[in-house]
Amino acid sequence: MSVFSGMSRPMKAAGVALIGVAIIAAVIGGISALNGGGSNEAGPSGTPTQPGTSGGPSTPPTTSSSPSTPPTSTSTSPASPSPTTPPPGQPTSPAPGQPGDHQAGNKWVTVRVFNNSLIKDLAQRAADDFRGGGWTVNEVGNYSQGTIPTTTAFYRLGTDEEAAAKQLAQEFGIKAEPRFPGIESASPGVIVIVTKEYESGHKGS
């Protein structure tokens, strides 16, 4: 039996209308409830909850209030050394008896000069000539162990003395020969034995 039985037709129409309004209100209320309940929850992508919800207020990122100061460079470029100034700790010229004086060729080899004549101070004069030419003479004396035919620069075979003796001989017009047995064991260096003809050939030097 219908709920509307016994009612007049206008009453039936009014009842149907009320029921429809109630159903529509219920549907709208349910939709509102669904939308309102899920608006503050985190979504599937992990979006943080809004402030005031159970997820707690979000803290805004802090920014440094200190002004950015560009770094100050304190390094200075070292002064370029003068082309004529040798590096610290380096000698300005090779020590006597040491190689390295390229401009002087073989003049770093020391020279000893001995007089084999009766002319006084002839060895000293020859030594002064050699020094004037850039050679290093570290000994001057006399040689009386025999007679040398002509002024000669003697050297030890297989050493730098050979090139030095030949250069010295070429510069001063004398001979260059290997050491003979009487001076083989003498100290290192070129040995120049000066004879009387050196004076006549170098008076103007």
Q: What local confidence, expressed as pLDDT, does residue 144 receive?
A: 92
Q: Which runs of consecutive H residues, i.e. helices, occur in the chain?
A: 9-38, 122-132, 160-172, 197-201
The reported pLDDT for the residue numbered 51 is: 46
Of the chain, the percentage scoring pLDDT greater than 90 comes to 45
Taking a C-beta distance cutoff of 8 angstroms, is the pair 154, 193 a contact? yes
Residue type, 153: A
The rounded distance, in Å, linking the Cα atoms of 14 and 148 is 161
In the predicted model, what is the mean pLDDT of residues 64-80?
49
pLDDT (tens digit, 9 = 90+) per residue, 16-40? 677 777 788 777 776 666 665 544 4
CATH second-level architecture of 110-201?
2-Layer Sandwich (3.30)
Q: How many angstroms separate the CA atoms of 93 and 107, rounded? A: 12
- The answer to whether 156 and 162 are in contact (CB under 8 A) is yes
Tokens, residue 106: 């073989």
CA distance 129 to 152: 15
Q: What is the pLDDT of residue 153?
A: 98
Tell me what pLDDT residue 15 has: 66
**77-93 pLDDT, tens per residue?**
444 444 444 444 343 44
For range 51-69, the mean pLDDT: 48
Q: What average pLDDT is seen over the chain? A: 73
* Contacts for 139-148: CB closer than 8 Å, 24+ residues apart: 139/112, 139/113, 140/112, 140/113, 140/114, 141/112, 141/113, 141/114, 141/115, 142/114, 142/115, 142/116, 143/114, 143/115, 143/116, 143/193, 144/116, 145/182, 146/182, 147/116, 148/116, 148/193, 148/195
User: Is 19 within 8 Å of 11 (Cβ atoms)?
Assistant: no
**What is the predicted pLDDT for the residue at 26?**
74
In tens, the pLDDT along 82-138 reads 444 444 434 344 444 444 444 467 999 999 999 999 999 999 999 999 999 999 999
Bigger pLDDT: 51 vs 187 = 187
What is the H or E stretch that residue 177 is in? strand 175-178
